[in-house]
C-alpha cells in the first residue's frame, strides 16, 4: 500500500517545490533585458555592490545620468562612452518619465517609442492638455497601445 502511494507522494512534493521556487523566482529576480549597455553595466557596476541594487528604484533620464556620474566619482571606472551607454540602458529599462512634461527625445529614451510616436504624444498634449491616465495616452494617433501597456511602470502623470 505504502509503495503504491510513494509515486503519488513524490508527485505532490514535486508540485509544492515547483510552486515555492516559482514564487521565489518572481520576487527575487530582477530582469536585465538583453540590449546594448547590459554587458557594460554587468562589467562595471557589480564590483562594489550587487548589480541588482542599482535598479531598486526607477529614475528619470536626468537622475540616471547623475547617478552614473556619482558612481564614477566614487570610483567606478567607466569611460565617458561607457557611462553614456550605461545611463541610456538604465533610462530605457529602469526609467521614469513624466509624460506631461517630457520632450520627445526623453520619451523615446525611456519608453522606446519611435521619434514619430514621441512627436505625436507631444503634439497631442499641446492640443488637448495634460494626460491623466494611461488610457488617455493610448488615445494618441499612431501610438502602439500594447507597447505603452508594457511600459506603464515607467510612466508618471504628475505635474500636469
Ligand atoms: C567603486 C565602487 C562602486 C562602483 C564601481 C559602483 N558603485 Fe554604485 N554605489 C557605491 C556606493 C558606495 C553606494 C552607496 C552610497 C550611495 O548611495 O551613494 C552606491 C549606490 C548606488 C546606487 C543607489 C544610490 C542611488 O544613486 O540611487 C545606485 C543606483 C548605484 N550605486 C548605481 C551604480 C551604477 C549604475 C554603477 C556602474 C556605473 C555603480 N553603481 C558602480 C559604489 C560603487
For 41-81, the pLDDT digits (tens) are: 999 999 999 999 999 999 999 999 999 999 999 999 999 99
Distance 54 CA to ligand 1 centre (A): 7
Residue 26 has pLDDT above 90, yes or no: no
Distance 66 CA to ligand 1 centre (A): 11
Residue 103 has pLDDT above 90, yes or no: yes
> Across all residues in the chain, what is the average pLDDT?
88
Domains of the chain: 38-93 (1.10.760.10), 96-156 (1.10.150.280)
Cβ proximity of 127 and 153 under 8 Å: no
Cβ proximity of 111 and 53 under 8 Å: no
pLDDT of residue 29: 82
pLDDT of residue 21: 47
Q: Given ligand 1 and candidates 57, 74, 86, which is best to mutate, with the most ligand atoms within 8 Å of its CB?
A: 74
Q: How far apart are CA 109 and CA 101, in angstroms?
A: 14
Amino acid at each position: 500500500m505504502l509503495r503504491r502511494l510513494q509515486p503519488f507522494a513524490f508527485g505532490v512534493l514535486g508540485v509544492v517545490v515547483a510552486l515555492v521556487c516559482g514564487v521565489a523566482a518572481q520576487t527575487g529576480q530582477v530582469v536585465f533585458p538583453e540590449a546594448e549597455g547590459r554587458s557594460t553595466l554587468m562589467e562595471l557596476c557589480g564590483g562594489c555592490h550587487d548589480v541588482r541594487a542599482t535598479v531598486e528604484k526607477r529614475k528619470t533620464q536626468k537622475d540616471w545620468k547623475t547617478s552614473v556620474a556619482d558612481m564614477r566619482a566614487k570610483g567606478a571606472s567607466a569611460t565617458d562612452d561607457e557611462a553614456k551607454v550605461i545611463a541610456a540602458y538604465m533610462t530605457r529599462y529602469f526609467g521614469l518619465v513624466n509624460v506631461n512634461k517630457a520632450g520627445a527625445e526623453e520619451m523615446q529614451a525611456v519608453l522606446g517609442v519611435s521619434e514619430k510616436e514621441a512627436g505625436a504624444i507631444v503634439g497631442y498634449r499641446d492640443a488637448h492638455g495634460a494626460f491623466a491616465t494611461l488610457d488617455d495616452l493610448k488615445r494618441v494617433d499612431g501610438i502602439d497601445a500594447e507597447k505603452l501597456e508594457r511600459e506603464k511602470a515607467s510612466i508618471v502623470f504628475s505635474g500636469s
